[in-house]
Amino acid sequence: MVVVGIDVGKNKLFIHLNPADGAGQPARTVLANSQEGHAALLSWLANQKVLPEDTSVVLEATGVYWERIATALHVAGFQVSVVNAAQIKFFAKSTLRRGKTDKMDAELIAQYGATMRPARWTPPDRCQEALRALIHERDAVVELITLEKGRQHALDHREHAHLVVIELGRAHLRLLEAQRIQLNEAITACVSDSVEIGKKVQLLASVPGIGTLTAAIVLSETAHLQDMQDSKQWAAYAGLSPVPRQSGTMVGRCRISKIGNGRLRRAFYFSAVTVSRLKNPLGEYYRRLVASGKPKKVALIALARKILRTCFAVLRSGIPFDPAYQRIAHTA
């Protein structure tokens, strides 16, 4: 397998090609990160006598600058992998890498691809990508609304607040509220326009604590996790997996990893807060944990993880949530 590492920048692509099985010399080039540069990269790879189906191209996820080149390579038939920058950083530390240049980074990314064989990347569905963009924009607007309300509260309690400042703040808040309504409507329309997304949202909404918006968040943030076979993988991706701390005789407090998708983790935590007040099996699960001596925060995290795993099961099975469902224990 030929491995190509690409260090992606805003304007340039630094490419390092390792031949299959170490036979031959590595090849390097630098091209523009533009449509013309992408076409030049495909020509350069063809000149290197590599076949797309036998070539793994590994890119570091640098902002949004990697998206177009990754899509171009995928359309051309290459096996594309997009890895988190933190993975490359710690891989470099494990190899005791000294120095850092764009060319060295491209070589390191190729070495990472050959050693770790990262999962293959595929472009997201356009509808789900649009839904994800709308949700991210809504989160940004909600954050600004919270900030502006805090500023208005401070102005209301000042001894002398200038009228122009007050009116501008109120106008800004009205604009943000209107944008939130517009985004809510766009999210609803996006869900309605896609039959597949609509069905999945209905399935997720059958789970207690999961409304339409939360269901849309879950779908948009897990669209690329279609191949995961276990809900524990979802929990790990959301950063809700427990992380034990033990070494020798020292036993520390177990915490959740928080290494993962913060938006997904936050959505399930708020769902858990809602469900903890309801009279249903999931709510009873929370109360049993508290009654057994678990701190309320720990019980909420456990409930959030249970809701996440329930959502995973509902999506995988295609069957709405049934509060009376009982797992049947199979004995060999």
- Determine the angle formed by the axes of helices 212-221 and 163-193, rounding to 10 degrees: 70
**What are the C-alpha distances in Å from 135 to residues 128, 131, 202, 216, 285?**
10, 6, 18, 8, 30
Q: Which residue bears the tokens 């509260």?
A: 153
| C-beta of residue 59 within 8 angstroms of C-beta of residue 80 | yes
| C-beta of residue 28 within 8 angstroms of C-beta of residue 16 | yes
Write down the pTM of the prediction.
0.81
Q: What token pair was written down for 3?
A: 């491995």
DSSP 95: T
55-60, strands of its sheet edge to edge: 27-32, 12-18, 2-8, 55-60, 79-83
**Amino acid in position 12:** K
**Phi, psi torsion values for 319, nearest 5 degrees:** -110, 130
User: Under 8 Å CB-to-CB from 278, ≥6 apart: which residues?
Assistant: 208, 209
Question: Residue 118 and residue 258: Cα distance in Å, rounded?
Answer: 22
Beta-strand runs (E) in the chain: 2-8, 12-18, 27-32, 55-60, 79-83, 242-243, 246-247, 250-251, 255-256
| C-beta of residue 35 within 8 angstroms of C-beta of residue 123 | no
Q: What sign for the dihedral angle of Cα 55, 61, 67, 69? A: negative
Q: What token pair was written down for 278?
A: 């309801």
Q: What is the pLDDT of residues 25-61, one digit of tens each?
A: 899 999 999 999 999 999 999 999 999 999 999 999 8
pLDDT tens, residue order, the chain (332 aa):
899 999 999 999 999 999 987 678 899 999 999 999 999 999 999 999 999 999 999 999 888 999 999 999 999 999 999 999 989 999 999 988 888 899 999 999 999 999 999 989 988 888 989 999 999 999 999 999 999 999 999 999 998 889 999 999 999 999 999 999 999 999 999 999 999 999 999 999 999 999 999 999 999 999 877 777 889 999 999 999 888 777 787 777 778 888 889 999 999 999 999 999 999 999 999 999 999 999 999 999 999 999 999 999 999 999 999 887 766 544 44
User: Under 8 Å CB-to-CB from 212, ≥6 apart: which residues?
Assistant: 188, 191, 201, 205
